[in-house]
Structure 1
Amino acid sequence: MKGEINFDIEIEGLDEFISALKNTEKGGFAEQLGLWLEAIGIDFLDIVQDEIVRTETVDTRNLLNSFSRGDSENLWSISSGGMVLDIGTNLNYASFANDGHFTVDPNSGKDRRWVPGRWLGDRFEYDPSERETGMLLKITWIDGTGYWDNALAILDKTFEKSLDRLLQKWLDSNF
């Protein structure tokens, strides 16, 4: 997984269905499907952002913003015919925030680490040249918030009904 979070949609048999409909297509189903797919992607990004906020995932706005289409860290690709939607973020800590993580690398064999710097109110400022002050980090497990998993579960509840409505609307207007 290496820090990336991706979401891919593949619907088995969709290519064959679209090919079968091409002879009777007069209402631009492929175009409507592409618009619908883009709308689902935008809705999903909104759901992910809502879950980041709802679960109070620690964030400096980078994570939240990376789930905005057009953000430099956002992952977005869409293909209409074969219905591929690839959404995610390139932030390396996104999966840690979702899944959980250790505060110090447990593979190093150390149970604590000294970080040089100074406290400015309730904020810590890292300073590698500081010799007198800093903070001691002890190995601790930080639970993930499951924001991504929650968003997928929410989308899963609405996705099939949304696709059914699109197909029914197209069929009703063309047959």
Structure 2
Amino acid sequence: MHDFDGLAKKFKKLSDEGVSQILKNIAEAVGETLLNLVIDEIDKQDLIDTGLMWNSFTRGEDNNIWEWDVDRNSISIEVGSNLTYARYLNDGYTIHKAHFVPGYWATNGTFVYDPRAKTGFMAKPRSFIGRQYFDIAVKELDMKRLEKELGRMLS
């Protein structure tokens, strides 16, 4: 160890500022990083053409989940989307009964869901494979990112 005094100063700073605040900052940075990775994966897979689901993975936006739990000796953060179809798109789903889906076909050939539309199509029974976009983003959030955030907070 070449700079013991410098290390001691960093530990004093940690105790002065409060380790719990530093850990909360790290958890926030990791949560933001995960949400950004989810949005990137949604874009990579070209899963949506409207901003509703994309925005639901943006902190502070409608339908976004950002919940803290500070309990005993841990700090945890839950991030994600409250949109039901976000889970269906990630995990896959099966349509068991035919039903009407309101909306219209745009000029580029994509279907635009519109709950007020009188037009639409009949969704027939079938299964859809999950795209696992959230799971892929979690895998990308590896220890290197956590170490980077920890290093940034401690410097």
TM-score normalized by the length of structure 1:
0.62
Which AA in structure 1 matches 2:137?
A
Q: Match for residue 58 of structure 1?
A: 48
Q: Match for residue 150 of structure 1?
A: 136
Question: Structure 1 residues 75 and 119 mapped into 2: Cα distance closer, same or farther (>3 Å)?
Answer: closer
- 1:157 shift after superposition: 4.2
Q: Match for residue 94 of structure 1?
A: 86
- 1:146 shift after superposition: 0.8
| CA-based RMSD | 3.3
Question: Structure 1 residues 74 and 135 mapped into 2: Cα distance closer, same or farther (>3 Å)?
Answer: closer
Which AA in structure 2 matches 1:143?
I
Which AA in structure 2 matches 1:40?
V
Q: Are the counterparts in 1 of residues 29 and 149 from structure 2 also a CA contact under 8 Å?
A: no
Rounded Cα–Cα distance in structure 1 between residues aligned with 2:68 and 2:24: 8
Q: Match for residue 58 of structure 2?
A: 68
Q: Are the counterparts in 2 of residues 101 and 142 from structure 1 also a CA contact under 8 Å?
A: yes
Rounded Cα–Cα distance in structure 2 between residues aligned with 1:50 and 1:116: 29
Greater RCO (CA < 8 Å, at least 6 residues apart): 1
TM-score normalized by the length of structure 2:
0.68
Q: Are the counterparts in 1 of residues 30 and 149 from structure 2 also a CA contact under 8 Å?
A: no
SS where residue 93 of structure 1 aligns? Answer: helix
- 1:33 shift after superposition: 1.6
When the two structures are aligned, how many residues end up with a matched partner? 137
- 1:118 shift after superposition: 6.7
Rounded Cα–Cα distance in structure 1 between residues aligned with 2:86 and 2:133: 10
* Structure (1/2) with the larger helix percentage: 2
Which AA in structure 2 matches 1:87?
V
Q: Match for residue 12 of structure 1?
A: none
Question: Structure 1 residues 138 and 166 mapped into 2: Cα distance closer, same or farther (>3 Å)?
Answer: same
Matches within 5 A, 1:65-144: 65-79=55-69, 82-102=74-94, 104=95, 106=96, 108=97, 112-113=98-99, 121=107, 122=109, 123=111, 126-127=117-118, 135-144=121-130
Q: Are the counterparts in 2 of residues 34 and 79 from structure 1 also a CA contact under 8 Å?
A: no
Q: Match for residue 26 of structure 2?
A: 36
Give me the identity figure in percent: 29
Of 39-48 and 134-143, deviating more is 134-143
- 1:166 shift after superposition: 6.2
- 1:84 shift after superposition: 1.2
Which AA in structure 2 matches 1:82?
S
Structure 2: any 5+ residue segments left out of the alignment? 1-10
